[in-house]
């Protein structure tokens, strides 16, 4: 595994990190917990030292399971978590960036994960009702208290990112980025590079679209949240699958999978970018990790960028009502 520095003053993390995956979990499901533990253990064996979580994932259960899974090698890995992205009982979303909530959330995450410090702590969504300086100021206090080592922010627009960074240095910004969704190349990534902030790319496989395993809605479970996403609506999905078929053809010619080719393209976009694909299967994890060592020619990189030019895919990444809450 290769490693890259996260931000100007951050840690050295694996070139490919570990996302949370899409699968839900129940504590009483022993088989699922065993699979989760095995996947995390294998990730560590492969040199992956960067693990992503949030108090919003699996109703806080992901933090609990991740903390337990890394207990035997906690001091050799970097754990992240997030706060401020809230699911309300009626299914609607809310944000909370108030300073008192910052402290409350961090203490709760530390307890759930069973750790003394969170390596990288993100504001999961910008709260438009709270000045970003107040939220980041509270997060800076967590660093002073030794509860957090570095801080970051998710889905922030360039102006907010600059204000946040001025309040306290941001180590990383986390936002979606993949061959399918490249709009961040226009202003978000340049802003990060101007400020010396690392870029952590979630959904680098287009929420599974770039694996080639999703051809129709029938390939998604009845309760899969992706069924509601615009890019997976039947008419859009049919168009997107055509693009993925070109990705698959290129991958086959190189003797790798479509997912590996997509990840290799992303790793090649800069040493300041760290994709965090999510999986709950050891086999897929091993393939993802191997992508860090795949080198693509300039011709292949250019061809992929041409096929997946901005606007080539059909359907936005979220519905309009959700998009109102990102890029603030």
Query: How high is the pLDDT of residue 68?
Result: 96
Stretch 66-92: mean pLDDT: 94
Stretch 204-220: mean pLDDT: 92
Output the furthest CA–CA distance in the chain (Å, rounded): 54
Q: Name every residue whose Cβ is closer than 8 Å to that of residue 298 and which is 6 or more positions away in sequence.
A: none
Cα angle 274, 280, 282; round to 5: 85
Residues 102-129 as b or e (16 or more Cβ within 10 Å = b): bbebbeebbebbebebbbbbbbbbbbee
Q: Which of 44, 57, 101, 199 is catalytic?
A: 57
Q: Residue 26: is its pLDDT beyond 70?
A: no
Query: How high is the pLDDT of residue 77?
Result: 98
Stretch 77-96: mean pLDDT: 92
Query: How high is the pLDDT of residue 28?
Result: 57
123 pLDDT band, cuts 50/70/90, is very high
* Other beta carbons within 10 Å of 23: 15
Q: Residue 111: is its pLDDT beyond 70?
A: yes
Q: Residue 47: is its pLDDT beyond 90?
A: yes
- For the question of whether the overall pTM of this predicted structure is more than 0.75, the answer is yes
Lowest mean pLDDT among 14-23, 44-53, 164-173: 14-23
Tens of pLDDT along 214-256?
999 889 888 888 888 999 999 999 999 999 999 999 999 999 9
Active site residue 57: yes
Query: How high is the pLDDT of residue 223?
Result: 81
Residues 295-305 as b or e (16 or more Cβ within 10 Å = b): ebeeebeeebe
Cα angle 229, 233, 236; round to 5: 110
Q: Which domains does the chain have, with CATH numbers?
A: 3-205+262-296 (3.20.20.100)
318 pLDDT band, cuts 50/70/90, is confident
Tell which wins on pLDDT, 248 or 20: 248
Q: Residue 142: is its pLDDT beyond 90?
A: yes
Stretch 316-326: mean pLDDT: 85
Query: How high is the pLDDT of residue 78?
Result: 98
Give the residue carrying structure tokens 């530390």.
110
Q: Residue 24: is its pLDDT beyond 60?
A: no
Kind and range of the H or E run holding 31: helix 30-45
């Amino acid at each position: 595994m290769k490693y890259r520095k996260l931000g100007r003053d951050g840690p050295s993390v694996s070139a490919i990190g570990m996302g949370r995956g899409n699968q839900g979990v129940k504590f009483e499901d022993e088989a699922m917990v065993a699979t989760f533990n095995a996947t995390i253990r294998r990730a560590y064996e492969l040199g992956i030292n960067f693990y992503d979580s949030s108090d919003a994932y699996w109703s806080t259960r992901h933090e609990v399971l991740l903390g337990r899974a890394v207990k035997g090698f906690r001091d050799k890995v970097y754990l992240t978590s997030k706060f401020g992205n809230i699911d309300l009982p009626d299914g609607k979303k809310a944000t909370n960036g108030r300073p008192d909530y910052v402290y409350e959330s961090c203490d709760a995450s530390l307890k759930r994960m069973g750790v003394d410090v969170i390596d990288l702590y993100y504001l999961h969504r910008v709260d438009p009702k709270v000045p970003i300086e107040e939220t980041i100021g509270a997060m800076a206090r967590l660093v002073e208290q030794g509860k957090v080592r570095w801080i970051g922010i998710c889905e922030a627009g360039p102006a907010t990112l600059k204000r946040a960074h001025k309040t306290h240095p941001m180590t990383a910004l986390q936002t979606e980025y993949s061959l399918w969704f490249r709009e961040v190349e226009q202003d978000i990534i340049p802003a990060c590079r101007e400020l010396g902030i690392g870029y952590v790319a979630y959904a680098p496989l287009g929420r599974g679209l770039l694996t080639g395993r999703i051809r129709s809605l029938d390939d998604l479970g009845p309760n899969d949240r992706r069924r509601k996403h615009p890019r997976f609506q039947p008419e859009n999905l049919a168009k997107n699958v055509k693009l993925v078929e070109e990705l698959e053809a290129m991958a086959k010619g190189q003797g790798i999978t479509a997912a590996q080719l997509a990840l290799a393209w992303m790793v090649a976009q800069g040493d300041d970018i760290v994709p965090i694909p999510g999986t709950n299967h050891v086999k897929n994890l091993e393939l993802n990790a191997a992508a860090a060592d795949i080198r693509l020619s300039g011709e292949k990189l250019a061809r992929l960028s041409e096929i997946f030019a901005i606007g080539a895919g059909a359907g936005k990444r979220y519905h309009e009502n959700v998009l109102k809450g990102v890029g603030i």
